[in-house]
Structure 1
Amino acid sequence: MVKWIVRGVIGVAALVLILVLAVTGWAGWRFVGSQPRLEGEIRLEGVTAPVNVVRDQYGVAHIFGETDADIYFALGYTHAAERFFQMDLYRRTAQGRLSELFGERALRADIRARTLGFPEAARHALANLSDEARLAIEAYVSGVNARLEQGNPAPEYLFLRTRPEPWTLADSASVVIVLADDLAAGEGEDRERARASQVLDGLMLEQFLSAFPDWAPTTLKDDDINAAFGAIRRESLPPPPGTQPDNEPGSNAWVVSGNRTETGAPLLANDPHLGLSAPSIWYFTRLNLSFGPVLGASLPGTPFITLGRNAHGAWGFTNTGFKVIDLFERDPETVQLNTRIETIEVRGQRDPFELTVRETAEGPVLDPQWFDLTGFDSEALVVRRSTVSDPDNRVADATFSIMRSTGWQEFVEAGRGWTAPMQNMHYAGVDGTIGYTTAGLLPIRDEDGEWTGFVPFEELPRIANPAGGSIASGNNLPAGAAYPYPLPGRYAVHRAVRIEEMLAERRRHSLEGFMTMQMDVTSALAQAILPALLAAQPESELGLQALARLEGWNASLDADGPEGLILSAWLRVLTESVWADELGSMARYFRGPRPVFVQEVLTGDASSWCNNVTTTPVETCPVIAGLALDTAMAELARTNGSDISSWRWGDHAQGYFAHPMDSLPLLGDMFGVRVPVGGDGTTVNVANFSYAGEGFDIVHAASLRAVYDLADLNNSRFIHGPGQSGHPLSPHYRDLAALWSRGEYFQIRDDWTPESAPQGSRRLTLRPN
């Protein structure tokens, strides 16, 4: 009897083992089988003639076809093969459908998207498409779905135990809405003022929300503004409601004319700063279209090159920072309201969640149950007005027109249909023209802050071939008081200071010099405040050693040295010490660097902030800075030991390319990517970390770097991280991360064919079925 029981147990165990191995094998097969196919031939419905997708050694897709429609089809197929899960998250974020995948933990994000009307904004964008742009997107959508019909497009669906839905034109429109809202400024500024004004008033409030300083550079200079806009007068416009400096997410771009380069032709550099992610937000590609080659950074989910160049010129974008979102307090007794019901499917719940959204003619009402409205009048309705939701959105056609532009005037005119996000657009042409233009809807406000219209397209900030021979943007204020319209918004300061300093250091610039500039980690903030910091009065031995390390320091936050770690840890403690006592319960909303305000406290007229108002003695800045240094050094010693010479900023400042699956047990490391970086939020090579946490993970930095050589466009250089592919088993998932970290670049050339492709390339041919 016992023998039969033992045999039964063994049999059951064997059966379980077989089932486990079968399931594991099936899962492994699904995981491996979801990798993109890189070579060979595939027959598909949707192409009219063979299309070649040739990936070079870096995974950049060069696409060759007989018709533009076939090329857009192949791009859709390629995006879906490499990046479909990313595309799916983009559309679900905009459509308020993340809860269908992730359950209740994503519900608040879906409520936000539905409340703000993102699905409706995408429908407007779709309705506004020209016939030509619509045909391009339709071909792209067909290519995406051709890949989906083959099944198993991404390994993430294995873990989520679901299958993706087909792609639609509305989905492509949704992708752009996500990026536009992420970059649009205004809501954060209104929240900060509402909260800070609860505990500060008068001079202290204005110091804390400090205006863009007089000493900081603007992108356009007054002489150029006067020359371009001198005839425009708007006497009735009120002064701007505020130009608040910050080092929030932004970008760099600068361009110089040929008389300031070694080749005699313009150079243009661009590195847009966004949240780091695996895979990258961008996908490098070259499209060999009927009107010529266009190459650079495409946005998965859309068929166009957003940042890049054609045969006639190159372009790069940075965020303007213009205030294009306002939060208004409205009287519930007088405002007219409409309501709509949004139904949100939530995974794991039998019944969908029903959301009631109240709307006004200006925009949606923010429900305090789902939106943190601390600081606003609890009796009022808080209404959000935003250009992102404007029904005239024609960004797709504008991007398409930029791709086809043959010179400066066409490039400028292409922006006429742009609504949001407002962008600084830098341009360099093979004819020697350099220029800067802005595109988008810039609200005009009356003395009460109410919107009365938009700045006419012809009168937006713009210049061609300025007298100084250069145009630089580090998300600083685009134009000063000479510009005839107010420019409220949020602007960075210190990166632009450093860029202009480096541009002025030499008369003639080179491609290699521009790449070096993009990797610069010298902080203009550190240069400005270092004398004040060195006057600190620490009491600990480690604090004194840290001060000694900073004596004679050149303010460069190199990854290989300890100084970046010392400064970053010190400022994180010091900033909270400066304003936590004045802000009290509101302090938790302001955990961030605030570099201009910190500079004004340490070197300007705001030094009274160093005093702790909750204590009787009057503290000075050297005293409070010394105490903060002691605290910071003690914290660092606990994790790094007491030998400061062995500390390395790059051991802590790790560029963290996050992936939704990187927290999975055992398999998470397969998805996440980390590499060391230098710099901080004020350096040209931006490396932003959170002041609310304990570590120094860099979560916001250069999403790509590009330098365009107008003497030889094929000599232009590109890089992004961590890699071209979104599949963790692909050789191109993380192969660019180390190059990105070290500041290395590669070329994306347009002078070869599938038959003459560089060594190491792999060709996939899509043929009609």
Structure 2
Amino acid sequence: MVLVFRWLLRLSTLAVVAVVLGVLATQYLAKRSLPDYDKELPVSGITATIEIIRDNAAVPHIMALSDRDAFFGLGYSHAQDRLWQMTVLRRTAQGRLSEIFGTRTLKTDTLLRRLDLYPLAVQSVPHQNAATLDALEAYSAGVNARISEINSKSLGRGAPELFVFNAPMAPWQPADSIAIMKLMSLQLSGHISEEVLRARTSLLLDDNQRLSDILPDMPGIGVAALPEYASLVPGPLNRLAANQPDDTFLPAAPRRGLAGASNAFAAAPGRSASQGTLLANDPHLGFTAPAFWYLARLELAEGGVIGGTVPGIPTIAVGRSEKLAWGVTSSYLDDQDLFIEEINPDNTEEYRTPDGFKPFVTRKSIINIKDAAPITLTLRWTDNGPVLPRSTYDLEAVTPPGHVVALSWTALSPKDTSMSAAIGLMTATSVEDAIDLSRIHIAPSQNLTLIDGSNVAMKLVGAMPRRSPNHQSQGRMPSPGWVADNRWQGTLPYSSNPEFLAPEGGIVGNTNNKTVDRSFPNHVSFDWGDSQRVQRWQGLMQGRKVHTRDSFIEAQLDTVSVTARSLLPLMGRDLWYTGEAAAAGTPERLRQRALDLLANWNGEMNEYLPEPLIYAAWIRALQERLIRDDLGTLADKYTHVEPLFIERVFRNVGGASKWCDVIRSVKIESCADISRLALDDALIWIEENHGSALESLRWGTAHEATHKHTVLGDVPILRSFVNITQSTSGGDNTLMRGRTSGIGPTPFSNVHGAAYRGVYDFADPDSSVFVISTGQSGHFLSRHYDDLGQLWRRGEYIPMSLDVDLARAASVGITKLTKP
């Protein structure tokens, strides 16, 4: 027995020692991959010494004697800090995630292979202008110089994740950067989801007017009645089809409601207290750790340029030069259409066209899968575009038997010159110059807001599809691909893209709101990203005769919800001060306390207040009550409240109050009945999840910004180190937008917002400021992994100066890349 005990003790000791050694070895290898910012490194492929000065926030100021060397330095800096992020982005665009993650990313890989983004990027490379090709090649060489350094010096594979996952880093190529830009187009586009949801909802509702209630058009010129979806395509269709799960690992396409958004606004000298132009911009994307954005400064032949970059792409996507500043917002251009394609019943290799049946264009594609056998896809294209898998976007529910769905999308161009437009923008010297250089931008479509020393402008950039006036669904629902009038007829001329140059009022801006009233087919879109934030923005802009940098910052950080101010009086109209006295501890008393709090609230979505949580839970429960009995499980797809729908119902616009009646009950319910029941639902949910002490509730507890590591964010224990969470103010409809998740046990988590903020003042350019929501480094052991996060949370910024001496004085390291 003693002998057995001794051996157990020895084995236990060995196990503990092995674990300790493993942890120490892992930590050592992880730390080996931390970049050294203070060094001198000989590299090949440069023409002169490159100096990369890291200021105290680790923002690289890349000083070079040529543009080519500056792009080389940016590639090297990106690879120093964000190599894993670049690896995942490239593999996503290539449809090669399953090689390292196994079957759980197969759905994402299948979609990307079907879309053919990477081959289209390869085909687009020779169509770039000479300056862009030079920049792409130099950037790739810079990335590869860092990869070579990692391999030759055994620097822990460059990132801890690359040690955990067997993901050999192939040399970077120009096509990789173009592919990532195309991937951004996918992540910023939401019209596929809107088309499918509109079609599915049409199948369940018996009245087109009700479809206009739940999926309302933005205020403006009305839209002619559309046909019901069932009349467009041959049946039968599964009206009660199950929803596709939203649990895809590393999804490439956004969930509905989480596509692109943003704010940008500019003031001309006449509206500026300092007589200099002003611009504020905060592009909105899904939160990740590290943030999607990376701050950098380049010294080009035209002068310095500084702002937000995307790792993997050699451009300052948003920012300023010495003469120009630019910001972007999602334009919501309808640049995607779905087509129902009929398969020849006598030959499944053919599909129907206006001229008869025609063979699909096909190609085989092999997806290699970790720990599983590879699969071979047969990629199919029609005249309208690639055939999509039925398992994505809930296409199964809207596709008749014997048919497939194809996608027309501007980003599928094999001659995509958007990268050349982005490179050219950094060299523009005036608003007019920038607008002209952007004519070759194809996708993603953006509203480009611009200022130079004396002027302001906004221009929609990106290719606008040309549709026939006789298009059966006006591009709002999947349409028969064999009908000639449904097919695209090329693109509209760049001159037809909306443009606002030197506006009379001296201020221009966009919050993803409707920008122009044009009738189909010369419209921009039927679906827009905002009908609420713009109202608050208009009030703040017109509330001052002149603006300053600080007033622009104040507007950018504003958390007042016009939506709450507008809808609460409607929701509570018959509830406030009408209830009888109720004993403590009863549901009636709890309801009275909640109503009393909301009656005295100004609509500010402040993280420390209880009212925003009560309001958000109430209006969410209200929409659920209004639509669940009509839409059944399809109601799950309406993850976010549509304020215009709630307003239509409570104002009874076009008879919309009929949504308040529960069709499965004998009683005819009023909107006051449903509102009261929804408030009780909300209070029960709050009590179960946050407690019944209403006055002690904090909106920020429910509205935490969740910067989740894309791969390790769900791993127990490790997620505590790699995820970044912050209590935040704002909400779905505030200028400081914090888009909620809308699903799961934490529906109010802040998952999508301004991961970059910048405010540029041309009266004193070096007083311009910017910030990102995490930190510069993608390495979770680096102090720069989250050091900017608390500044961002508090609404603070860091200097955005082109003064190299200022960067040098507070630098955390200087890297010199020298010729060997």
| Matched AA of 1:678 | S
Q: How does 1:293-372 map to 2 (within 5 A)?
A: 293-333=304-344, 334-335=352-353, 336=358, 337-349=360-372, 351-369=373-391, 372=394
1:194–1:376 Cα contact (<8 Å) kept: no
For each residue in 1:370-400, what CA deviation from the matched residue of structure 2 results, as whole angstroms up to 9, or x when unmatched?
A: 5521133334321111111022311111011
| 1:223 counterpart residue number | none
Q: Aligned equivalents of 1:611 and 1:125: distance in 2? A: 55
For each residue in 1:56-111, what CA deviation from the matched residue of structure 2 results, as whole angstroms up to 9, or x when unmatched?
A: 11121111122222221111111011001101111111110111111100000000
Q: Does 1:602 align with 2:650?
A: yes
1:96–1:109 Cα contact (<8 Å) kept: yes
| Matched AA of 1:79 | H
Q: How does 1:662-741 map to 2 (within 5 A)?
A: 662-695=713-746, 696-741=748-793
Q: Does 1:475 align with 2:512?
A: yes
3-state SS of 1:547 partner: helix
2:760–2:768 Cα contact (<8 Å) kept: yes
| 2:457 counterpart residue number | 435
1:579 shift after superposition: 0.8
Is there any run of 5+ residues in structure 1 with no aligned partner, and where?
217-236
| 2:524 counterpart residue number | 487
| 1:658 counterpart residue number | 708
Q: Does 1:542 align with 2:587?
A: no
Q: Aligned equivalents of 1:478 and 1:18: distance in 2? A: 65
For each residue in 1:645-696, what CA deviation from the matched residue of structure 2 results, as whole angstroms up to 9, or x when unmatched?
A: 1111012111111112122222211110011111111111111112222212
1:268–1:707 Cα contact (<8 Å) kept: yes
1:178 shift after superposition: 0.9
Question: Among residues 274, 287, 291, which one is paired with 1:276 in the alignment?
Answer: 287
Q: Aligned equivalents of 1:753 and 1:46: distance in 2? A: 27
3-state SS of 1:411 partner: helix
| 1:93 counterpart residue number | 92
| 1:204 counterpart residue number | 210
| 2:162 counterpart residue number | 157
Q: Does 1:745 align with 2:767?
A: no
Over 3 Å counting, the alpha-carbon distance change for 1:241 and 1:40 in structure 2 is farther
2:572–2:675 Cα contact (<8 Å) kept: no
Over 3 Å counting, the alpha-carbon distance change for 1:626 and 1:759 in structure 2 is same
| Matched AA of 1:726 | G
For each residue in 1:14-50, what CA deviation from the matched residue of structure 2 results, as whole angstroms up to 9, or x when unmatched?
A: 5555544443322111111111111122222333332
Question: Among residues 238, 248, 256, which one is paired with 2:267 in the alignment?
Answer: 256
2:518–2:524 Cα contact (<8 Å) kept: no
| Matched AA of 1:154 | A
Give the TM-score of the pair, scaled to structure 2: 0.87
3-state SS of 1:443 partner: coil
For each residue in 1:590-636, what CA deviation from the matched residue of structure 2 results, as whole angstroms up to 9, or x when unmatched?
A: 23212221222223412221111111111111111111111111111
Over 3 Å counting, the alpha-carbon distance change for 1:19 and 1:554 in structure 2 is closer
Corresponding pairs, count = 743
Question: Among residues 482, 497, 504, which one is paired with 2:535 in the alignment?
Answer: 497
Over 3 Å counting, the alpha-carbon distance change for 1:54 and 1:92 in structure 2 is same
| 2:70 counterpart residue number | 71
1:525–1:599 Cα contact (<8 Å) kept: no
1:689–1:699 Cα contact (<8 Å) kept: yes
Q: Does 1:583 align with 2:582?
A: no
| Matched AA of 1:259 | G
| Matched AA of 1:417 | I
| 1:189 counterpart residue number | 194
1:338 shift after superposition: 2.0
For each residue in 1:483-505, what CA deviation from the matched residue of structure 2 results, as whole angstroms up to 9, or x when unmatched?
A: 99222242111111111111011
Q: How does 1:31-50 map to 2 (within 5 A)?
A: 31-50=30-49
1:215 shift after superposition: 10
Q: How does 1:371-382 map to 2 (within 5 A)?
A: 372-373=394-395, 374-382=397-405
| 2:171 counterpart residue number | 166
| 1:514 counterpart residue number | 552
1:185–1:489 Cα contact (<8 Å) kept: no
Q: More deviation in 328-337 or 409-418?
A: 328-337
Q: Aligned equivalents of 1:239 and 1:591: distance in 2? A: 26
Q: Aligned equivalents of 2:225 and 2:265: distance in 1? A: 29
Q: Aligned equivalents of 1:208 and 1:65: distance in 2? A: 55
Is there any run of 5+ residues in structure 2 with no aligned partner, and where?
151-156, 229-255, 345-351, 472-485, 580-586
Q: Aligned equivalents of 1:168 and 1:262: distance in 2? A: 47
Q: Aligned equivalents of 2:731 and 2:259: distance in 1? A: 12
Question: Among residues 174, 180, 187, which one is paired with 1:175 in the alignment?
Answer: 180
1:174 shift after superposition: 1.3
Question: Among residues 430, 437, 444, which one is paired with 1:421 in the alignment?
Answer: 444
Question: Among residues 600, 606, 611, which one is paired with 1:558 in the alignment?
Answer: 606
Give the TM-score of the pair, scaled to structure 1: 0.93
| 1:130 counterpart residue number | 129
| Matched AA of 1:441 | A
| 2:239 counterpart residue number | none
| Matched AA of 2:161 | E
| Matched AA of 1:462 | E
1:403 shift after superposition: 0.3
Over 3 Å counting, the alpha-carbon distance change for 1:240 and 1:372 in structure 2 is closer
Over 3 Å counting, the alpha-carbon distance change for 1:59 and 1:240 in structure 2 is farther
1:207 shift after superposition: 1.9
2:63–2:298 Cα contact (<8 Å) kept: yes
Q: More deviation in 643-652 or 23-32?
A: 23-32
Q: Aligned equivalents of 1:58 and 1:604: distance in 2? A: 54
| 2:480 counterpart residue number | none
3-state SS of 1:692 partner: coil
Q: Does 1:767 align with 2:806?
A: no
1:536 shift after superposition: 5.0
1:72–1:139 Cα contact (<8 Å) kept: yes
Q: More deviation in 449-458 or 257-266?
A: 449-458
The alignment's C-alpha RMSD in Å is 2.3
2:218–2:526 Cα contact (<8 Å) kept: no
For each residue in 1:340-375, what CA deviation from the matched residue of structure 2 results, as whole angstroms up to 9, or x when unmatched?
A: 2110011111x2111122210211122325552113
1:639 shift after superposition: 2.9
Q: More deviation in 153-162 or 640-649?
A: 153-162
For each residue in 1:512-545, what CA deviation from the matched residue of structure 2 results, as whole angstroms up to 9, or x when unmatched?
A: 0110111111112112112112225486322221
Q: More deviation in 39-48 or 455-464?
A: 39-48
Over 3 Å counting, the alpha-carbon distance change for 1:6 and 1:563 in structure 2 is closer
Q: Aligned equivalents of 2:258 and 2:708: distance in 1? A: 21
Over 3 Å counting, the alpha-carbon distance change for 1:240 and 1:246 in structure 2 is farther
